[in-house]
Amino acid sequence: MSLHGTRGMTLVELLVTVSIAVILLAVAVPSYRALALNGRRMAVANEFVLALTYARSEAVKRNVPITVCSRATNATCAGSLAWDNGWLVFIDVGTAGSVDAADLILMVYPVLPGGTTLRSGARKRVTFHATGFSAGFNDTFRLCDRRGPAAGRSIVLSNQGRVRTEPGAATCP
């Protein structure tokens, strides 16, 4: 058997290949982490905007007040400026701002994932009236993750019930 026909890698070639792989991973891993955090933040922002938009449209459609509040349990509002435990959307025909026997829960959003925070500037709840307006409930919600305010999002709700998002958040907890 002849050894001249057998080809393999030398130790130098193997070290060069491994070095290139390590350099590529060192560049790719932080980028992937940022991509994953951006995706998580955007998903939460979209879910919150969806909840507010849904509440507004249901208030107009059903001709009743619909409230979105920070969640304590799947059937009670937390009455907090921190919305990290999720939120509830419910028909609010009983006592304003709290879930009563006469109210119907329409949507429950669970605890926010992995270090993501959502804070209201001043509101513990938002109520949309049959006109679609949220008069008196305008606010700016700050959505942040562990990267701080520069990587956050602001979700702005107007008195007319319109919602928009903006890059960055003024403060994060």
Per-residue pLDDT of 32-91, as tens digits, reads 788 888 889 999 999 999 999 999 999 999 999 999 999 999 999 999 999 999 999 999
Exposed, middle or buried, 147 (CB in 10 Å: 0-12/13-18/19+)? middle
Q: What is the pTM of this model?
A: 0.82
Name the burial class of residue 128, with classes exposed (0-12), middle (13-18) and buried (19+) by CB atoms within 10 angstroms of its CB.
buried
Q: What is the CATH number of the domain that holds 119?
A: 3.55.40.10
Residues 52/126, Cβ–Cβ less than 8 Å:
yes
Q: Is residue 94 part of a domain?
A: no
Terminal-to-terminal C-alpha distance of the chain: 72
Question: Is the pLDDT at 29 greater than 90, yes or no?
Answer: no
The answer to whether residue 77 is domain-embedded is: no
For residues 117 and 173, the answer to whether their CB atoms sit within 8 Å is yes
Q: Does the residue 81 lie in any domain?
A: no
In the prediction, which pLDDT does 82 show? 95
Q: Residue 25's domain spans which residues? A: 11-63+112-167
* Average pLDDT estimate for 101-119: 93
For residue 46, give the DSSP letter: H
Answer whether residue 151 is part of any domain. yes
How far apart (Å, rounded) are the C-alpha atoms in residues 55 and 51?
6
Distance CA 168, CA 147 (A): 11
Backbone angles phi, psi at 170, to 5 degrees: -60, -45
